[in-house]
A and B are shown apart, each in its own frame.
Chain A
Amino acid sequence: EAQVTQNPRYLITVTGKKLTVTCSQNMNHEYMSWYRQDPGLGLRQIYYSMNVEVTDKGDVPEGYKVSRKEKRNFPLILESPSPNQTSLYFCASSSPRYEQYFGPGTRLTVT
């Protein structure tokens, strides 16, 4: 089954404790991205990757890092999380016909 998976689905952490949210897709898509969803703000892009070893900032990259060492994986790293990064995070990959496939989401709470 074609899918995008994210782990963990839920995470509660404390300010400053480094964390990684993993993302993996099995559709051999070149393009992957991370979004955060906040009430009243819709989805905002954090980072995206056009291919392996190629990443670029989206609209709200501050406080986040990503890496793309292999095509299927695109982890999101928060080196020093802060409460304003409490949000719902989605990973997505894009088909050559521009349709994006989204993961189930990771709900992060930073206290």
Chain B
Amino acid sequence: AQSVAQPEDQVNVAEGNPLTVKCTYSVSGNPYLFWYVQYPNRGLQFLLKYITGDNLVKGSYGFEAEFNKSQTSFHLKKPSALVSDSALYFCAVRQAGTALIFGKGTTLSVSS
């Protein structure tokens, strides 16, 4: 069965420091991987995706993610965190058709 795991419920980082939000997956075949962000009282917004090609994917708001096939991971990264990056982040993997399976989410808290 296909699944995605976000091992950390919460990540705390100081403004200006690099951040990493972890995601691992389990799928049969080649994965389609996604990151979404949810701000309070808002719907989810697409950040970035990996379909094929370069393992380092760049997305919105300065975020990037690295696809690692051997470790089945797709960690979200940003070189310098902003307070405004504080939000709930979801990793997702594509299932049959275009359905997505979501992780349980990681709350990112950036302190000033």
Is A74 among interface residues, defined by CB-CB distance under 8 A? no
Is A94 among interface residues, defined by CB-CB distance under 8 A? yes
Give every chain A residue within 8 A of B103 (Cβ-Cβ).
42
A50 x B49 contact (CB < 8 A): no
Chain A residue nearest to B91 (CB atoms) is A42
**Number of chain B residues close to chain A: CB under 8 A:** 22
Q: Which of A30-84 contact B (CB under 8 A)?
A: 31, 33, 35, 40-45, 48, 50, 58
Chain A residue nearest to B44 (CB atoms) is A102
B99 x A48 contact (CB < 8 A): yes
**A104 in contact with B42 given A45-B100, A48-B97, A98-B94 (CB within 8 Å):** yes
In the assembly, what is the distance between CA of A99 and CA of B48, in Å?
A: 9
B98 x A98 contact (CB < 8 A): yes
In the assembly, what is the distance between CA of A43 and CA of B100, in Å?
A: 9
Min CB–CB distance B95 → chain A (angstroms) = 9
